[in-house]
């Protein structure tokens, strides 16, 4: 029997959030539909109504944490105004802060990336996600170039550099929260990107 109107989105979110917790605790190799159903406090029949298998629920978990990260970044950038450098700094702080405050979010990324090594369709999903993120970063960098805040660079290449820096430092925080504080990580990334993007003196 299908869920009542209005219940479906809430139930689906409940299941996805439970999956995130299971992935953080047990990893994808230890993930089972039975564990997710128990964590979400739903029957396995309800679980299978929304998701056919654990692969589908992994993709839904990635979409959920990505959407949440997008919201956090957008909110942080809105507080920083329209200045390109402030918007880039806000993005750094939001992403790195998430690695410390909600480690399970980055665990979902790690688990998903591991599975992309063996699954062509997951690789395509990941490639589309990274393509979107590079385009968004590229638009911000292009804005900074036009405003005279950044030097002239290949915006696609620069976007990939920014993304690689954010991913790498966020993963270090996820793997070893004692390696350095979020404030130190943000300062390091800001310094590195300032040197990379700083407009050369005339």
- List the CATH number of the domain containing 22: 1.10.10.60
pLDDT score recorded for residue 193 = 94
The mean per-residue pLDDT over the stretch 61-87 comes to: 90
Report if residue 92 sits inside a domain. yes
128 shares its domain with 184:
yes
DSSP, res 108: H
Q: Name the residue range of residue 90's domain.
A: 63-197
Q: Are 123 and 133 in contact (CB under 8 A)?
A: no
165 shares its domain with 110:
yes
What is the reported pTM?
0.85
2 shares its domain with 94:
no
DSSP letters for 35-51: HHHHHHT--HHHHHHH-
69 shares its domain with 94:
yes
104 shares its domain with 179:
yes
Which residues touch 14 (CB under 8 Å, ≥6 apart)?
40, 41, 42
44 shares its domain with 69:
no
69 shares its domain with 42:
no
| Category of 27 on φ-ψ map: left (φ > 0), alpha (ψ -120 to 50) or beta | left
43 shares its domain with 67:
no
- pLDDT tens track for 117-151: 999 999 999 999 999 999 999 999 999 999 999 99
3 shares its domain with 89:
no
């Amino acid at each position: 029997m299908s869920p009542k109107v209005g219940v479906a989105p809430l139930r689906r979110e409940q299941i996805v959030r439970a999956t995130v917790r299971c992935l953080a605790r047990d990893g994808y190799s230890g993930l089972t539909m039975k564990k997710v159903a128990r964590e979400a406090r739903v029957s396995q029949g309800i679980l299978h109504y929304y998701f056919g298998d654990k692969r589908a629920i992994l993709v839904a978990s990635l979409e959920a944490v990505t959407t949440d990260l997008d919201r956090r970044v957008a909110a942080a950038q809105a507080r920083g105004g329209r200045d390109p450098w402030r918007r880039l700094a806000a993005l750094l702080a939001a992403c790195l802060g998430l690695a410390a405050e909600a480690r399970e979010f980055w665990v979902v990324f790690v688990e998903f990336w591991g599975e992309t090594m063996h699954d062509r369709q997951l690789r395509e999903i990941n490639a589309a996600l990274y393509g979107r993120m590079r385009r968004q970063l590229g638009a911000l960098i292009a804005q900074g170039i036009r405003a005279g805040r950044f030097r002239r660079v290949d915006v696609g290449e620069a976007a990939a550099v920014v993304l690689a820096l954010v991913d790498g430092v966020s993963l270090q925080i996820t793997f070893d929260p004692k390696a350095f504080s979020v404030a130190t990580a943000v300062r390091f990334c800001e310094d590195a990107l300032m040197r990379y993007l700083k407009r050369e003196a005339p």
